[in-house]
Structures are given as structure tokens and as C-alpha cells.
Amino acid sequence: VHGHITGSAGMTLDFAYQPLSLYPATCTSPDGTGCTIQPGTAPTRVVEYTAAAHLYGSIALFDRLQISIVAPLAITRGDAFVFGMGPSGMLPGINDPQFVLADPRLHVKVNALDDRDSGFRLAFVGFITAPTGHAIAPRRFVGDEDPTFGGHVVAELVTSGFHLAANVGGIWRDGDTLFSTEALGQLTYALAVGYEITPMLDVFAEVVGATTFRSAVDENPLEARLSARMRVDDVAFSLGG
């Protein structure tokens, strides 16, 4: 964090194809265990795609504090999933694309240490979200049913063009449930390494994960990302996946 009454703004575009698909299954127990899927069964694309433009703006104060707001504008569609009798036995679909203000997020970052001689930096980040996505488009999986909050500690080392960063923290959720999956609080973590190829061009690799400390695979996500960033004066362009 650098500057006093220094603002910045930007937009990040992302796209997810079939982020949520479900298979109809036959279960031998009411608790959802002992389930089998018939061979050749096609999945239902509950969320066929989600495209989002994350608009953000921030202001830096006192060379120590940064306050940011992120507003994700999303468009999504998906198919209905039938798993029982009557309206309660179906997840509704959206035949036509639906526009949604997904959960906006307020960030506060405090720069605790910035040793320019060694290149080591340490910061604390806190955030809170508002559940607008679920309020606008319930059961479309573009946000949480309740507000969430969390934070993390960020450490970074920059030396001779190399960047090494790590963060660890957590997020609190109220336990929204879809079948056997619960959206619980999680420990979050990330590790990234980057290199400045030129003063204008950087490349990065990152591993991001979370865990609820339970054995379910869907409660322990882990993914890797590659990205590149180009700076032109005060404007930066990033591409990653």
C-alpha cells in the first residue's frame, strides 16, 4: 500500500463453463449414502456457464491503509435438475441468461511492514460480503445466502525481479447446504511466484486452496493458475487461467 488519498480502479473479466453439474442417482439410504449412477447417464448442467465483470475501486490512505470495493456483475444460465416429486424435488433452471449483481465485497488492507532494503512486505486484509446474488437470483449459485466475512495475512518478498508471496487466512459462512455439501467456514491459503521479464511484463504462477478440515473432496478445493501482466504507464493488463 503506497500513497495518501491515491485512488485506483479496474475491471477483471472471468468465465466458468459448467462449474456445477449433477448426476441423477439411486440411493439406498435416506441420508444420501449408498448411491449409484446408471451407466451412460448424462449430467444436468445446473450452472451451464457464468460470466462476470468484477468492477473494483480503491483508495490508499496514510501510506498504510487501502479500502477497496469489488462489485461482480454476472450473467448465468442453467438447466433444471429433478431429484424428487413436486416443486421441492427440483432445482429450477434458467432457460434465458440472467443478469445478477453477485455478492459485492468490501476490503480493508493494512500495510504492517514494508522493508524496502530487503524487499519484504507484510499486510493484513479483512473483508465482508453482502448476499445480493442469492437475493436477486435464488438457487442460481452466484453468491451465498448470508453475509460472509474473513481475512488473511499476506507476506511478500521482492528481490532481483523475483516475487514470492504467500497468504493464509479464513472465511466464515453460515453453512448453506446443497444435498450433502455444506458451505462452511474454511481455512484459505495461497502461494505465488513471479518474475519481471521486463519493466513492463511480469509472469506469475499461483496455487490456491481451502479446507474445512473434513474429508469430503468438494470441501477441500485446490487449483493452480498461470498469469501474465503488462504495464503501460499507469494502466495494467492481466491475463490468466
| Between 10 and 177, residue with greater pLDDT | 10
Does the pLDDT value for residue 75 go beyond 90? yes
How high is the mean pLDDT of the chain?
87
Band (24; pLDDT cuts 50, 70, 90) = confident
pLDDT of residue 20: 85
Of 26-40, 145-159, 204-218, which one has max mean pLDDT? 145-159
pLDDT of residue 182: 77
DSSP conformation class of 231: E
For the full predicted model, state whether its pTM sits above 0.85: no
Task: Give the mean model confidence (pLDDT) for residues 20-24.
Answer: 82
The cell for 174 is 453460515
Cα-only R_g, the chain:
21
Does the pLDDT value for residue 109 go beyond 60? yes
| Between 113 and 180, residue with greater pLDDT | 113
Buried b (16+ CB within 10 A) or exposed e, 170-186: ebebeeeeeeeebbbbb
User: For 206-224, what is each residue's pLDDT tens digit?
Assistant: 999 999 888 877 788 899 9
Taken in order 97, 217, 209, 224, is the CA torsion positive or negative? negative
| Between 183 and 16, residue with greater pLDDT | 16
Task: Give the mean model confidence (pLDDT) for residues 89-113.
Answer: 85
Give the three-state DSSP class for 88.
helix
**Beta partners for residue 47, in sequence order:** 20
| Between 106 and 220, residue with greater pLDDT | 106
pLDDT of residue 33: 64
Instruction: Give Cα 80 distance to the centre of its chain.
Output: 24
pLDDT of residue 183: 79
The cell for 157 is 518478498
**For 53, how many CA atoms within 13 A lie in the half-sphere containing its CB?**
6
Does the pLDDT value for residue 171 go beyond 90? yes
DSSP conformation class of 102: -
Whole-angstrom distance, CA of residue 100 vs CA of residue 76:
8
- Are 238 and 226 in contact by the 8 Å Cβ rule? The answer is no
User: For 191-210, what is each residue's pLDDT tens digit?
Assistant: 999 999 998 999 999 999 99
Does the pLDDT value for residue 89 go beyond 70? no
pLDDT of residue 32: 59
Whole-angstrom distance, CA of residue 161 vs CA of residue 163:
7
